[in-house]
Structure 1
Amino acid sequence: MNSPENATICSAKGCRAAAVWVLAWNNPKIHTPERRKTWLACEEHREHLSQFLGVRGFLKDVVSLEEWQRRSAADR
């Protein structure tokens, strides 16, 4: 939905709140194991979005947006 590099708005439909969490996921049927897609979540929608991805077996990691940005900067 959104990527941390270009937006910090929650990925939940209709939500315009600031994101504070990154949900890293992949769909094993179409993505290589190391590939990570991201959704952003505000406090209110973190659990809902995590459950949505988790039920499908897609959720790989949930980290704070701040931590995700630190990791990304360190990888550059």
Structure 2
Amino acid sequence: MTQSDPADQAPLICSSKGCDAPAKHAVLWNNPKIHTPDRRKTWLACDEHEPSLRQFLSARGFWKETQPVSDLPPAR
């Protein structure tokens, strides 16, 4: 099995409904009712939508942290 060149991968796109902007942020979250404490789900966000996605998750007690997409581990 060979690893693909990151340049060959599709660009990461914002998870906000209807947005097709490049993602710059990884919004990490966890629903404690269904996920183990160490599990992290990821929504991708552009600069415009990161605050609203973070606020949505925070209101439910799900938001854990936001980090640059460049800090995400490589896709498997």
TM-score, length-normalised on structure 1? 0.81
The AA in structure 2 aligned to 1:59 is: W
Aligned residue among 23, 27, 33 for 1:29: 33
TM-score, length-normalised on structure 2? 0.81
Root-mean-square deviation (CA, aligned residues, Å) is: 1.9
Aligned residue pairs, count: 67
Q: Which runs of 5+ in 1 are unaligned?
A: none
Q: Which runs of 5+ in 2 are unaligned?
A: 1-8
Shift of 1:20: 0.2
Match of residue 64 from structure 1: 68
Shift of 1:29: 0.3
Structure showing the higher helix proportion among its residues: 1
Deviation digits for residues 9-68 of structure 1 (CA, Å, limit 9, x no counterpart): 000000000000000101000000000000000000000000000000000010000122
Match of residue 24 from structure 2: 20
- Which runs of at least 4 in structure 1 moved beyond 3 Å after TM superposition? none
Provide the identity percentage.
53
